Amino acid sequence: MSRIHPAYQNRCHDMLTVKERSDEDAQAQARPRPSVLTVWKRSSMTFQGTDGFTVFDHHGRLAFRVDNYSRKSCCITGGELVLMDGAGNALLTLKPQVLSMQYQWNAYRGEDKMGKSRSSKVFSMRSGSRLFHSSKDEAIVMMGATTKHGQTDQSQTPDFRIEGCFRRRNCKIKSSAGATVAKIARKRVNNRILLGDDVFSLAVQPGFDTQLIMAFVIILDRICGKPFAPVLCS
């Protein structure tokens, strides 16, 4: 039986190694990646006194926006906000809970200025401030309907928890199972230049609804934003 020359053996080994690396690279490219959004704490309307959000995807395209004339108009509009897609179509209406014992917001599908039925409710989100209870969470989210009085069931396990501090743009949104769903972080340019806190990154893991997570961010801004928020971060 003839022996294989060592040089030929090494070439075969190198070819197999290259193929294995190519297979690993192909698998890595096929693996779903997080959706990274750039959130600009500024309304897409350019005139003075507007307040809202402009959100871009990783291609630089307008993904979401929130346009609001002013936070001071809450006494007229009830403080509700509408999350829209890039074309201006209403996705979710976010409304503060009136006379709530806790700082709570409710989210409803689409836009309806005449009031929302309970059937269209998507989630409730309330502050996790220590002013109300011993939770260290920035905020908690319960999906679905509330009780007949509009309050969330206090015994219900939150579907999502927000940990960290939104004011510092350092937050993690976690599922009830403890998995990290999304991260909020300060925006860096070329991994070096740190931008102001009015521009930040939102990375949403594959399989989770970006518009739902963006709605969480909008409410976080009202709960823990500055300088207008009535409740400070935990």
- The ranges assigned to domains in the chain are 1-31, 33-224
Mean pLDDT calculated for residue range 131-145: 74
Please, what's the b/e burial string for 2-30 (b: 16 or more CB within 10 A of its CB; e: otherwise)? Answer: eeeeeeeeeeeeeeeeeeeeeeeeeeeee
pTM score above 0.95 = no
- Answer yes or no: are the C-beta atoms of 120 and 201 closer than 8 Å: no
CATH node for 33-224: 2.40.160.200
Of 44-48, 51-55, 117-121, the least confident: 44-48
Q: What percent of the chain has pLDDT over 70?
A: 62
Q: What is the pLDDT of residue 182?
A: 98
